[in-house]
Amino acid sequence: MSSIDGQPRFAAPLRRMHWIMFALVLLAYLFINLFELFPKGSATRANILASHFLAGLAVLLLVLPRLWLRSRHPRPAITPPLGHWEELLGKLTHAALYLFLLVQPILGVLTLQVGGKAVTLFGVTVLPALLAAPDRALSHQLENIHSWIGTIFYYVIGLHILAALWHHYRRHDDTLKRML
């Protein structure tokens, strides 16, 4: 754990990871919303979708190292301390966010793989199609789940951001400063 003006903060690598992964998730959402705007079959559409894959795969690559770092560095206490229910809500939200960072990109990869598609980035195959017999119906279901989770987490992430701002501007505690 490190500190600023004697106040405890999240360890530097955890703070860095938090903001890098925030940017990557933002990009994954941005690209998937942009790609719909371009005509099917166009190179721009394919490249924007590849950018979605790239941002998502980077999240997948970082999530386990982040959890490993987290297991080595405790979460610094918040001053003034939170009530029992606030602590619990925070813990639940953070667990859901970690799960999302792990499961969402895996579902994306599975959608492609089960549909018999390789994971390609700008024409370069990073993971060839591994299944001998693709299952288009299952792939479609996985895509639906990926899409639902994507929608639900707009709200969970929104709640998380509102909570951070509430702590900083209303409760005037050091929750946000610990992550900066």
- 56: burial class by Cβ within 10 Å (0-12, 13-18, 19+)? buried
Residue with tokens 């610094």: 76
For ligand HEM, the closer of residues 133 and 163 by Cβ is 163
For ligand HEM, the closer of residues 5 and 117 by Cβ is 117
39: DSSP letter: -
Torsion sign across C-alpha atoms 7, 13, 17, 20? positive
Smallest distance, ligand HEM to C-beta of residue 80, A: 13
Q: Is 53 in the site for ligand HEM (CB under 6 A)?
A: yes
Angle between helices 84-114 and 43-72 (to 10 degrees): 140
Q: Among 104, 113, 114, 174, which residue interacts with ligand HEM (rule: CB under 6 A)? A: 104
- Which residues of the chain form contacts with ligand HEM (CB under 6 A)? 18, 22, 25, 28-29, 32, 52-53, 56-57, 59, 70, 75, 90, 94, 97-98, 101, 104-105, 108-109, 111-112, 119, 143, 146-147, 150, 157, 160-161, 164, 175-176, 179
